[in-house]
Amino acid sequence: MSSTATPYGMVPVKMLGGQYHTGAFRKIPIASGYDTSIFTGDLVKLVAAGGVEKDTGTTAATPVGIFVGCEYTDPSSSQFLQRQYFPANTAADDIVAFVVDDPDVIFKIQADGSITAADVGENAALVQTAGSTSTGNSKVALDASSTATTNTLPVRIVGLYADPENAFGDAYTDVLVKWNAGHQYGNTTGLG
């Protein structure tokens, strides 16, 4: 697993403090015709016009949470769909994203390089790559070369993801992260 670069975005695994993540999410609208695809594991942000859009930030981000699917009435077939990703330019009046928006969620993410035990507690940037339309999964990864004390980086490494095939120093380490800076529910300035 950790010897191959297979980024999968950010996957909720538990809560800060060790509690289980129950899979809870909030339904938040996506504007009809929004021109960017959003994949499961991508960061999303609230926008002033209402609803969410993909957050493409790398060294800084302002996420409200992680996209984990969506639902809408297909404009071509009139069928109600639930999908793992939102296809860009979908025109429907009832599009809603499923968003894991709790600021205390701990996520699993693959680094684009090696992470060591000394990196735990460091902050890191993200690598934004287009997701897969065949799986619906994100390809967002942690930028291994960016680990630092910089307080504006979007995520903080809190540990190693426990898996027998994953270890510190692996070529593509899977780590646990939490929001470090920019989560919209912690920002005291409104969207306006």
Banded model confidence at residue 181, pLDDT cuts 50, 70, 90:
confident
pLDDT band at 152 (very low <50, low <70, confident <90, very high): very high
Query: What is the rounded average pLDDT for all residues in the chain?
Result: 95
Domain boundaries, the chain: 22-100, 104-183
What type of residue is 128?
A: Q
Tell me which residue has tokens 């699917």: 69
What local confidence, expressed as pLDDT, does residue 192 receive? 66
Per-residue pLDDT tens for 38-97? 999 999 999 999 999 999 999 999 999 999 999 999 989 999 999 999 999 999 999 999
Query: What's CA 191's distance to the chain center, in Å?
Result: 20
What single letter denotes the amino acid at residue 6?
T
Q: Which residue has the tokens 């994203």?
A: 97
Residue 189's pLDDT is: 81
Q: Which residues contact 166 (CB under 8 A, 6 or more apart)?
A: 1, 2, 160, 173, 174
Whether the pTM exceeds 0.85: the reply is yes
